[in-house]
């Protein structure tokens, strides 16, 4: 006999579906937990969370790097502390998820719905007992008219048994119906668990984001101090400010190496270096390594690195803003007037660019002094190096820009190299009074040889120290030893000193 109404039967069918869905969600949530289900927050944070391993490793690494890698250690320390806070937020989040989501789902799927289903089975058993008692009673009542051996008291007993079974069915059915209706009325609360899950996740992510947003400005504020950025591809001003230098590291380092072993090398800046050696030297200059001795024997690699640095500057050394003025000066036919215009534009270069441009031009002029041996006349130097000093800002391939610029650049660079000491007299920067007319230009040129002055000192940073005399075949005449060629050359003490230790000494 079916004793449940249609609405209760519908609820019964929903019970299985809800239990299945909630049980699956519960299992998936538990699987997503990094910590062991049921552990307290502290134990979960220190022992159970996978994410706790990362800050632990980072903070242990800080101890391992105590005596060196200061910038790396500071970065690891800050990041490790942030990761540790994130792991703590995660452990608290998981405890909240267990308490407010997983535990209620577990109660529903393992206690409340099973209890209802157990009552349903009990009701089915009571209904069977009731049907059986009613069958016996009906059979006895039916046969009592023809079988006088059935005593009336027996019939009465069977009736009482039937009524008692019916009462049990009604009681069980009422209790079951009450629990089923209660389940339906609480479906909103059970569904609320999933809303709570999203709210808890949102709260966790907000707190995690707050941890990250608090530490990121600190890291970013000190990033320039904690980390060493490569010189290649970095804006000139940024590199000089970060390193506290006057001349960019790749420019001074390459010039100092070339002064020693490259000044008499035929085709310098024109003959391409080996790709692997060039790549290695650029990487060495970028990371401020002191291991540069091997490159003294390969001046073409050094020259290639210098060209690459100039070409990879985000803005050319002669600047975009003055490109049109350089181009116009290149087209001036009167040589005296052209020199005046070029000198005026040189003085318009921003300070950092002008200082480095002056340094490079002085070196190139010294290189041109040996053109009878190295075949690098001012014209040849301007042809191979000019496109790395000035190019148009407009988009296009490197070849297109070089072709469009090369003629103008050569017409600009060649006279500047030829008259380097007139453009940049002595050891001072360009603070000479303006040239008033062509006669003054000729007078100045007569006073300043087209060869740079012999007392030019390229060791601007002071990071180069004297070493025993090198092989005379590679000794070049530079600095104070230009006239006699007997003084010892100066070589880099250490690129690390150039980048970091020198700054500490200055402070």
CATH number of the structural domain spanning residue 215: 1.20.1270.60
Mean pLDDT for the stretch of residues 119-137 = 90
More confident residue, 460 or 118: 118
Domain boundary among 204, 226, 248: 226
Domain count, the chain: 2
**Whether residues 203 and 343 fall in one domain:** no
Q: What residues contact residue 427 under an 8 Å CB cut-off, 6+ apart?
A: 455, 456, 457
Is 76 among the domain residues? yes
More confident residue, 134 or 460: 134
**Whether residues 133 and 112 fall in one domain:** yes
Joined tokens for residue 409: 């650049």
Is 311 a residue whose pLDDT tops 90? yes
**Confidence (pLDDT) at 5:** 84
**Confidence (pLDDT) at 454:** 43
**Confidence (pLDDT) at 432:** 34
CA distance 205 to 335: 69
Domain that holds residue 330: 236-506
**Confidence (pLDDT) at 2:** 80
Smallest Cα–Cα separation from 288: which of 220, 229, 360?
229
Is 363 a residue whose pLDDT tops 70? yes
Is 472 among the domain residues? yes
Joined tokens for residue 379: 């014209």
Q: What residues contact residue 502 under an 8 Å CB cut-off, 6+ apart?
A: 244, 461, 462, 463
What Cα–Cα distance (Å) separates residue 386 from each residue in 95, 148, 206, 414, 507? 67, 133, 54, 9, 37
**Whether residues 278 and 157 fall in one domain:** no
What Cα–Cα distance (Å) separates residue 262 from each residue in 148, 162, 186, 457? 137, 118, 88, 17
Domain boundary among 202, 226, 250: 226
Is 42 among the domain residues? yes
**Whether residues 243 and 339 fall in one domain:** yes
**Whether residues 242 and 311 fall in one domain:** yes
**Whether residues 304 and 197 fall in one domain:** no
**Whether residues 218 and 256 fall in one domain:** no
CA 309 to chain centre: 23
**Whether residues 192 and 308 fall in one domain:** no
**Whether residues 203 and 257 fall in one domain:** no
User: How many CA atoms lie within 13 Å of 35's alpha carbon, on the beta-carbon side?
Assistant: 26
Q: What is the pLDDT of residues 1-32, one digit of tens each?
A: 788 888 888 888 888 888 888 889 888 888 88
Is 1 among the domain residues? no
Task: Give the best-scoring range by mean pLDDT among 127-136, 185-194, 343-352.
Answer: 343-352
* Across 28-32, 350-354, 445-449, least confident range: 445-449
**Whether residues 201 and 335 fall in one domain:** no
Q: What residues contact residue 464 under an 8 Å CB cut-off, 6+ apart?
A: 256, 490, 491, 492, 493
Whole-prediction pTM: 0.55
Q: What is the pLDDT of residues 134-151, one digit of tens each?
A: 888 888 877 766 655 657
**Whether residues 300 and 392 fall in one domain:** yes
Smallest Cα–Cα separation from 384: which of 417, 345, 348, 410?
410
CATH number of the domain where residue 481 is located: 1.10.555.10
Domain boundary among 207, 226, 245: 226
Q: Hey, what long-range contacts does 318-323 have (CB within 8 A, 24 or more apart)? A: 318/349, 318/353, 318/357, 318/389, 318/390, 318/412, 319/349, 319/350, 319/353, 320/393, 322/348, 322/349, 323/390, 323/392, 323/393
């Amino acid at each position: 006999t079916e004793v449940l109404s249609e609405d209760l039967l519908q609820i019964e069918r929903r019970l299985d579906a809800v239990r299945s869905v909630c049980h699956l969600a519960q299992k998936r949530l538990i699987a997503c937990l990094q910590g062991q289900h049921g552990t307290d927050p502290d134990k979960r944070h220190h022992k159970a969370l996978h994410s706790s391993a990362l800050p632990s490793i980072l903070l242990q690494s800080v101890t391992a790097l105590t005596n060196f890698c200061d910038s790396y250690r500071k970065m690891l320390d800050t990041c490790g502390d942030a990761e540790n806070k994130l792991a703590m937020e995660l452990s608290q989040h998981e405890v909240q998820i267990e308490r407010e989501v997983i535990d209620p789902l577990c109660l529903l799927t393992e206690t409340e719905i099973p209890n209802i289903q157990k009552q349903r089975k009990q009701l089915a058993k009571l209904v069977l007992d009731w049907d059986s008692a009613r069958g016996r009673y009906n059979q006895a009542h039916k046969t009592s008219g023809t079988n006088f051996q059935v005593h009336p008291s027996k019939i009465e007993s069977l009736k009482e048994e039937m009524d008692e079974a019916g009462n049990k069915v009604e009681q069980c059915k009422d209790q079951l119906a009450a629990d089923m209706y209660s389940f339906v009325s609480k479906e909103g609360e059970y569904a609320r668990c999933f809303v709570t899950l999203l709210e808890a996740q949102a709260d966790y992510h907000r707190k995690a984001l707050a941890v990250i947003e608090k530490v990121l400005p600190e890291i970013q504020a000190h990033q320039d101090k904690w980390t060493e950025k490569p010189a290649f591809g970095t804006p000139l001003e940024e590199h000089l400010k970060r390193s506290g230098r006057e001349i960019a590291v790749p420019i001074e380092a390459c010039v100092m190496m070339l002064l020693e072993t490259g000044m008499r090398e035929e085709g310098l800046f024109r003959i391409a270096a080996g790709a692997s050696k060039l790549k290695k030297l650029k990487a060495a200059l970028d990371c401020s390594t002191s291991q540069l001795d091997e490159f003294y024997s390969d001046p073409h690699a050094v020259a290639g690195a210098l060209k690459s640095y100039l070409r990879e500057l985000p803005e050319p050394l002669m600047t975009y803003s003055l490109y049109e003025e350089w181009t116009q000066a290149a087209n001036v036919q009167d040589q005296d007037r052209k020199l005046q215009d070029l000198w005026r534009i040189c003085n318009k270069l921003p300070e950092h660019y002008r200082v480095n441009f002056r340094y490079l031009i002085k070196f190139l002029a010294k290189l041109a002094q040996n053109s009878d041996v190295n075949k690098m006349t001012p014209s040849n130097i301007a042809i191979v190096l000019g496109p790395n000093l000035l190019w148009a800002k407009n988009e296009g391939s490197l070849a297109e820009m070089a072709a469009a610029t090369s003629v103008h650049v050569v017409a600009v660079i060649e006279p500047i190299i030829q008259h380097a000491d007139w453009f940049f007299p002595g050891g001072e920067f360009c603070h000479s009074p303006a040239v008033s007319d062509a006669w003054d230009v000729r007078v100045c040129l007569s006073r300043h040889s087209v060869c740079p002055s012999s007392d030019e000192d390229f060791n601007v940073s002071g990071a180069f120290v004297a070493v025993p005399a090198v092989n005379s075949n590679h000794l070049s005449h530079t600095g104070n030893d230009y006239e006699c060629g007997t003084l010892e050359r100066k070589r880099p003490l250490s690129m690390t000193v150039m980048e970091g230790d020198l700054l500490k000494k200055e402070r």
